[in-house]
Each structure stands twice: as C-alpha cells, then as structure tokens.
Structure 1
Amino acid sequence: MSQLILKINPDPIITTKIREDFNAAGFGLIHTNDIEEALEIVDRFEPTIILLDLDFIRFQAFDFCRTLRLQKDNWTPLILMSEKDEEFDLVLGLELGADDYIRKPVRSKELVARVKSILRRQSISWPKNKEKFSNGTNNHDIIIIGKLTICPSNYTIRINDKIIDFTRKEFEIILYLSQNKGTAISREQLLSVLNEEEFLADVRVIDVFISRIREKIEPCRSKPSYIKTVRGVGYMMLHQNLPYIKKSARSLNHPCTYHDNEYPLKSF
C-alpha cells in the first residue's frame, strides 16, 4: 500500500497538478478544503504526512496545528505552505510543531523531494521504542552534561533519569551542541544540521528551536545554565563542571540568580 499524503488546500486544480508526481513517487493523495474534515481524515486514515496551505484559512490552519499536536498528541510530519514570507507565520507554525515551511509557488517535483527528505530523516532519527535504552548501547555513546543525559543510540534525553519529549529537530540541535560543548556554534551551522539538503533557509528558525529546548531543560530560562547565547555567533552548550551558579545568601533568596563566568571562545 502506498504512503498517504493529506493535502489541505482550497484549490482542487492545484492538487490535480501535483497528484501525478506524487503517485509516480509511490504516494497516494487525499485532498480536502475543510479543517474539521481534515482532522477526521487524520484519525481515520493516518496519513504519512500532511501538507497544509495557510493562505486561505490562516488562523484555522494554526488551530489545526494546535489541535493535532497538543490535543491529539499526533506528530505526523507537517509541512506548512504559504505565498507570504512573514516571520509571524514562520515562528508560530514551528512553535506549533510544523516540520517545514515552504514559500509558494513551489514545483510539484520539489514538493515531492521535500516530503521524501522529511520522511527519510524521520525514519533515521526516531526508532519506535524511545522508552528504553537499547541493549547495544555502549557507555561511550551516552553524553552526560550536568543532570542532562543524552543517548544518541536510541534518541532519548533524560533529566534526573526522567525521559523528556523532544521533537526530531530539537533532538538534532541539542545533540549537535552537546557533541561540541564549549564551542560556539553559528545559527547557519545548526541550520545545516537540521536540513542537509538546505530546504530550510531562514536562520530565525534556530532561535525558535533553542527557545523550545530551553523550556524543557533549563531550570531558569531567563538565566540558562546549559545553552548559552553567544552574541554575534549563535549558541554554545556549556560545560557543567564549572561553578556557573554560586550558592550564596543572595542566591538562596533568588534561586535563578546567574553568575556567568567569562567563557573563552575558540578562535574561528
């Protein structure tokens, strides 16, 4: 059975044009122009990926993302499409769990390629069993930074031995930063880690992902102790064996008080 794509778009003519290329690539395609029907299709047919057009139902589309991710806890890969290049749409869409943002017009063959890329990365990155460490995991595969434990072999992240849920892209970013801790990594480098085929070209998405990662791992987001912003460069995973947080009478009253030692950057 072919993999199924759900396309939410008001124009059936456009859908007809791309259907041939998707069918040739081994994908089936279901089209709807109704958000409520789209949610029913997701529940009933479990599509492999969802293409959502923002231009005709902008805020309904964001409601769809919110319902899919937060209420239904459904993480089917989701691509947003729009003729507009607005930062608001880009940031909000990614905050709500979209996997990619495509500016129209886009050729059908390119759209097929991007769908394949997302599905390929998903199959590589996310094994079905994330709850247990695999038997083949070696100690040297595990990265420990403070209370953070990262296991690349089965894509799990724990804080104090509790598994924390990360999206695929969030995991790729935190893993790369952890593998290069103590080194300032540019936004462009992180973007290339997310997208080896360079479909995503806006470095602003990195700031969105870092913000989401900090929400999950930082004891105090306003004074991060794991991921430091390096002005003019990007981000750096800090070593945790240094006394960045000092216990003092002042810090007891203000548990998020942060003492950021001068951290020497490596030369570029």
Structure 2
Amino acid sequence: MNRIVFVEDDPDVGSLIAAYLSRHDIDVIVEARGDCAEATIAAANPDLVMLDIMLPGKDGMTLCRDLRAGKSWSGPVVLLTSLDSDMNHILALEMGASDYILKTTPPAVLLARLRLHLRQASNGHYDSNDRIAPQMQVQKPLSFGTLSVDPVNRQVTLGSEIIPLSTADFDLLWELATHAGRTLNRDALLQSLRGVAYDGLDRSIDVAISRLRKKLLDSATEPYRIKTIRNKGYLFAPHAWGMP
C-alpha cells in the first residue's frame, strides 16, 4: 500500500480525500499545518506529498520550495488547490512541484494522476527536482553540429561548454531532439513527459522551452534553434547549431 502525506487545513476536505484514497489502497496521513509538515513528512517517509496552498504557518508554495531547496524530499510533490490561476500553476512547477491539480477535479481523475506519479516514483524515474524522467529507449548520443546530447550520462554540450540542465529540462530537450525537424504540440510533449493531457491552460511547457532557449543560446525574440510554429507547437531545428 502506498502512503501519502496530505497537508490540508480543512478537516472535511482532508477526511473526504483520505477516505476515498484509502478505498483504493492509498494510506493518507493528514497534516493540518504547513509549518509542521516537514517534520510529519520526515517521520512518515511517504511515497508522495500532496499540499494545499493556503495553509496556516507556512503556505504550500513556500513549503514545496523549502522541501526542494533543503533536499529533504526528492519524491513527488503534488499541489491540490482551489486556486485556478495560470501564474500559480507556473510558479508551482518552477518551485519543483510535480503536478498542480484543482480540487474540482473528479476524484477518479485525481486518483489516476496520483497513481501515475506513484508509479513513476516506484520505477525510479523521479529526480531530486521531482520531475518525471522517462526511461530512455535510445542510448546513443545525438549530435547536431556543435550540440551533443548524451542520454546515458545525461549531459549536454554546446561547443566546448557543458550546459547544466535539470532533469526536466534534459527530458524536454531529449524529446525535442529525438523528433528533430518535426513539430510537437503541447499535448504530445505533456503526454510523453508527464503522462497527462494538455488542458488548454497549462503553460509549463512554454516556460520550460523559454528556459531551454536561454541556456542553449537561442534568440528569445526570434528563436531559430527551438522554433515556435504558430498554432502548432515547437520544432527542434537540426541544422541550426553551427559546424562541429
């Protein structure tokens, strides 16, 4: 049976979700205060942490950030909130959250998404930044001019410089590079990287693409290495990386 620590100050919400998940073989420990959550997580050693945002003592965003910054928790962190905001969604992912789920989500969908994160974690595909790291099927490095992407060592070099990337950024680059010359939309990228469908609002892929462009010295105003194809998605340009 999997174990979850759910940090939620509303006792009705906490008990309802705990009861529902327990019927599906997920043991839930409910913690009501954000400032007590880290101690509860350390004592419980759960498989997943689920946080509300509005909490007494310490809000869920800050708690997520502190868990990551202090490296005290490397497993999945899911924010479950009533705050339907693009900015909160993006901020949560930037702080290291694995997922951002609204409380209005049907219970069966919530269960499915939690099981996805638990399954990925049990297979060893989560990194310390809590992003799902899909198992690489192609193990040979890919080279495009001065760019080299090595999936075995998870290392990226541009020219003679090693480019430090988080696991999430590396996985996104790998997905783009293995489909070089093809346009991938947000839904395809989210399905491959996180196992969820694009809901029309999620901007996490856009944020990650912008971050990749900056690290790979692409133009922010007129990108030519990772191109935006209007109304279609993103395209990794295989011939835009100079001569080796």
- The answer as to whether partners of 2:7 and 2:34 remain within 8 angstroms in 1 is yes
Alignment of 1:63-142 (within 5 A): 63-72=62-71, 74-124=73-123, 126=125, 141-142=140-141
What is the match of residue 142 of structure 2?
143
1:173: Cα distance to partner?
2.4
Counterpart among 141, 156, 163 of residue 158 in structure 1: 156
1:210: Cα distance to partner?
1.6
Between the aligned residues of both structures, percent identity stands at: 24
1:175: Cα distance to partner?
1.9
Aligned equivalents of 1:164, 1:210: Cα separation in 2: 15
- Alignment of 1:17 with 2:13, yes or no, is no
1:87: Cα distance to partner?
1.2
Q: Which has the larger radius of gyration?
A: 1
Aligned equivalents of 1:15, 1:179: Cα separation in 2: 43
Give the counterpart letter for 1:149 in structure 2. Answer: V
* Alignment size in residue pairs: 231
- Alignment of 1:228 with 2:227, yes or no, is yes
Bigger Cα displacement from structure 2, 16-25 vs 30-39: 16-25
Aligned equivalents of 2:198, 2:17: Cα separation in 1: 19
- Alignment of 1:167 with 2:167, yes or no, is yes
Aligned equivalents of 1:40, 1:141: Cα separation in 2: 43
Give the counterpart letter for 1:235 in structure 2. Answer: Y
User: What do the CA deviations read for 1:201-234 (whole angstroms, capped 9, x no partner)?
Assistant: 534221122233345x424664766423333332
Structure 2 vs 1, CA of residues 243 and 171 (structure 1 numbering), >3 Å: closer, same or farther? Answer: closer
Bigger Cα displacement from structure 2, 220-229 vs 24-33: 220-229
Structure 2 vs 1, CA of residues 180 and 124 (structure 1 numbering), >3 Å: closer, same or farther? Answer: farther
- The answer as to whether partners of 1:94 and 1:208 remain within 8 angstroms in 2 is no
TM-score by length of 1: 0.71
Bigger Cα displacement from structure 2, 88-97 vs 218-227: 218-227
Alignment of 1:191-202 (within 5 A): 191-198=190-197, 202=201
1:105: Cα distance to partner?
2.2
User: What do the CA deviations read for 1:14-43 (whole angstroms, capped 9, x no partner)?
Assistant: 222222332233322111121121111233
Higher relative contact order (CA 8 A, sep 6+): 2
Aligned equivalents of 2:189, 2:6: Cα separation in 1: 29
- The answer as to whether partners of 2:53 and 2:60 remain within 8 angstroms in 1 is yes
Unaligned runs of 5+ in 2: 128-135
Aligned equivalents of 1:118, 1:79: Cα separation in 2: 9
- Alignment of 1:213 with 2:212, yes or no, is yes
Give the counterpart letter for 1:106 in structure 2. Answer: T
Give the counterpart letter for 1:45 in structure 2. Answer: A
- The answer as to whether partners of 1:79 and 1:102 remain within 8 angstroms in 2 is yes
1:180: Cα distance to partner?
1.0
Aligned equivalents of 1:138, 1:52: Cα separation in 2: 33
Aligned equivalents of 1:122, 1:222: Cα separation in 2: 34
Structure 2 vs 1, CA of residues 230 and 118 (structure 1 numbering), >3 Å: closer, same or farther? Answer: same
- The answer as to whether partners of 1:55 and 1:83 remain within 8 angstroms in 2 is no
- The answer as to whether partners of 1:191 and 1:200 remain within 8 angstroms in 2 is no
What is the match of residue 34 of structure 1?
33
Structure 2 vs 1, CA of residues 220 and 25 (structure 1 numbering), >3 Å: closer, same or farther? Answer: same
TM-score by length of 2: 0.77
Aligned equivalents of 1:226, 1:73: Cα separation in 2: 37
